[in-house]
């Protein structure tokens, strides 16, 4: 009996130890790679200084990674005979950017701490540093994620939000990831930095009724009825290179470029949140940081799961 009790006690200690190991922590690399975050930050700042638009791209990269299989850097894996790369999924193909920036940051970190820092953690830190560099909030990134050995183009096609989504569909997509409608609206605010390709907003500027006429006319200059599929246009015409709350002010004036943006303020359940953020930029910044932390905790691989990739685009 005593042996059984002792064995049960040891097993409980093992479970507790495993749970502790699996918990993300902002101090995860304090001993194993104390210069990890500063090294990543330098690489990210250099990339954004070269191209301001990269800030939005890095934030989106983190989002699109976490929404497929969790925050595991699966989005970085290239196509192989056994891996269907998420890079060619509908929402990512010729759209998501920043892969080479993460690769550069990983290369720098590998030089000081080989085989220690995951690509998944680098993506999370990069998103935070990108936000801070362009005037957005900063936050303590919880670390300790490991990298997946798989990717899923099928899941990416099924689970990533689409530019034509209705409000109920968007809310449902975010709820399935443990994110609230408020989280969704706050995260959407980063679109103030982004750009969209003509094919994603053509139908809205030519056919929608809930759009400012002058705004639609201006956008048609870069997006003809036919052709120009990949022509880029800033989601926020006023301050496209700064993290601010203009995105929400635009929505209240029917100046949302994408359908999936304007549905956030179109007589629905999220109107009040958009209105609040348009009046209170501090609240928006605070909620955005909280939502990013929450999103960064979607199904991370920890402990002995996954691996620490030496090269982010390929399994070891």
pLDDT confidence band for 238 (50 / 70 / 90): confident
Grade residue 2 by pLDDT with cuts at 50, 70 and 90: very low
- Rounded mean pLDDT of 264-288? 98
The two structure tokens encoding residue 171: 């809310």
Least confident range from 109-113, 192-196, 299-303: namely: 192-196
Quick one: average pLDDT of 228-238?
93
Q: Average pLDDT of 188-201?
A: 94
| The length of the chain, given as a count of residues | 316
Question: Is pLDDT at 227 greater than 50 in this prediction?
Answer: yes
The pLDDT tens digits of the residues spanning 247-263 come to 999 999 999 999 999 99
Looking at residue 120, its pLDDT comes to: 98
CA torsion sign for 295, 296, 301, 307 is: positive
Interaxial angle between packed helices 281-295 and 271-279, expressed in degrees from 0 to 180 and rounded to the nearest 10: 120
pLDDT of residue 241: 84
Tell me the H-state helices in the chain. 2-21, 36-50, 54-66, 99-112, 119-133, 153-159, 167-175, 181-188, 198-207, 213-220, 246-252, 259-262, 271-279, 281-295
pLDDT at 22: 57
Is residue 18 pLDDT above 80, yes or no? no
Is 285's pLDDT higher than 80?
A: yes
Write out pLDDT tens, residues 207-223: 999 999 999 999 999 99
């Amino acid at each position: 009996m005593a042996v059984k009790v002792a064995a049960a006690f040891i097993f409980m200690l093992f479970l507790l130890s495993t749970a502790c190991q699996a918990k993300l922590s902002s101090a995860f690399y304090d001993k194993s790679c104390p210069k990890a975050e500063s090294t990543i930050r330098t690489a990210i700042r250099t990339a954004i200084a070269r191209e301001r638009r990269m800030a939005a791209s890095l934030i989106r990269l983190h989002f699109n990674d976490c929404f497929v299989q969790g925050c595991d850097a699966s989005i970085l894996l290239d196509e192989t005979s056994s891996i269907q790369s998420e890079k060619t999924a509908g929402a990512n193909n010729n759209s998501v950017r920043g892969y080479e920036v993460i690769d550069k940051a990983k290369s720098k970190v590998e030089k000081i701490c080989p085989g220690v820092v995951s690509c998944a953690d680098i993506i999370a830190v990069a998103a935070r540093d990108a936000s801070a560099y362009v005037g957005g909030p900063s936050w303590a990134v919880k670390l300790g994620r490991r990298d997946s050995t798989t990717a899923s183009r099928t899941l990416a096609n099924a689970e990533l939000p689409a530019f034509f989504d209705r409000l109920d569909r968007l809310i449902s997509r975010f709820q399935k990831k443990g994110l609230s409608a408020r989280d969704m609206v706050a995260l959407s605010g980063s679109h103030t930095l982004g750009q969209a390709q003509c094919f994603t907003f053509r139908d809205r500027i030519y056919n929608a009724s809930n759009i400012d006429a002058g705004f639609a006319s201006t956008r048609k200059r870069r997006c003809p009825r036919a052709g120009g599929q990949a022509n880029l246009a800033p989601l926020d015409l006023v301050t496209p290179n700064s993290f601010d709350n203009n995105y929400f002010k635009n929505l209240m004036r029917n100046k949302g470029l994408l359908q999936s943006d304007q549905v956030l303020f179109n007589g629905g359940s999220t109107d009040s949140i958009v209105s609040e953020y348009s009046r209170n930029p501090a609240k928006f910044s605070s909620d955005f940081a909280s939502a990013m932390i929450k999103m960064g905790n979607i199904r991370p691989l920890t402990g002995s799961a996954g691996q620490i990739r030496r090269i982010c685009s390929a399994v070891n």
